[in-house]
Amino acid sequence: MEGMAGGPFLFAVALVDTGSILFLLVYFVSFSPVFTVYKSYIITLSDLECDYLNAQECCSKLNYWVLPKLFVHGFLVVIFLLFGHWWLVCLNIPIVSYMIYEHVSVPQGNIGVYDPFQIYNRGQLKKYMRDCVIYLGWYLITFFIYLY
């Protein structure tokens, strides 16, 4: 399926896809009945760390976006696979594999990847903040790779 018309379309889709995930990591929308708040994953976790936000509210906001982020990035890998860009597939497989592992390895009884009862245990909050920064760096790098 790789061809002259497929290349620009593919990378336009990749830019929109990666840009939407970057937007999600930097500014995601928190739906509430009263108003809409724009916050980042990192700011939400930082608010939890400083006790500006309770654990239940923080985890429900973050868990809402786990599967959409996985599906959007998985779609990108499938598109690269269909168009025959093997080096981009190989570049993206580790991050998709980690996201799948993160989703599948949720312990029985937890409400999602981010669990309000586990978030303060064993430095989980710091791990989640580190993972968010790594995701942010990863998507910034791949955004500019797709732009090039």
- Give the pLDDT band (50/70/90) at residue 122: confident
Encode burial over 74-107: b for 16+ CB neighbours within 10 A, e otherwise: eebbebbeebebeebbebbeebbeebeeeeeebe
Res 28: pLDDT: 58
Q: pLDDT tens-digit profile of 89-113?
A: 999 999 999 999 999 999 888 888 9
Q: Give me the chain's average pLDDT, please.
A: 82
Asked if the model's pLDDT at residue 3 lies above 60, the reply is no
Res 93: pLDDT: 94
**How many CA atoms lie within 13 Å of 123's alpha carbon, on the beta-carbon side?**
4
Res 87: pLDDT: 92
> Taking residues 25-52, what's their average pLDDT?
63
Q: pLDDT tens-digit profile of 54-100?
A: 888 888 888 888 888 899 899 999 999 998 899 999 999 999 999 99
Q: What are the residue ranges spanned by the domains of the chain?
A: 6-147
> Taking residues 12-29, what's their average pLDDT?
79
Res 32: pLDDT: 46
Asked if the model's pLDDT at residue 36 lies above 50, the reply is no
Q: In terms of Cα–Cα distance, which of 63, 23, 15, 59 is closest to 40?
A: 23
**Tokens 């928190």 map to which residue?**
30
Asked if the model's pLDDT at residue 33 lies above 50, the reply is no
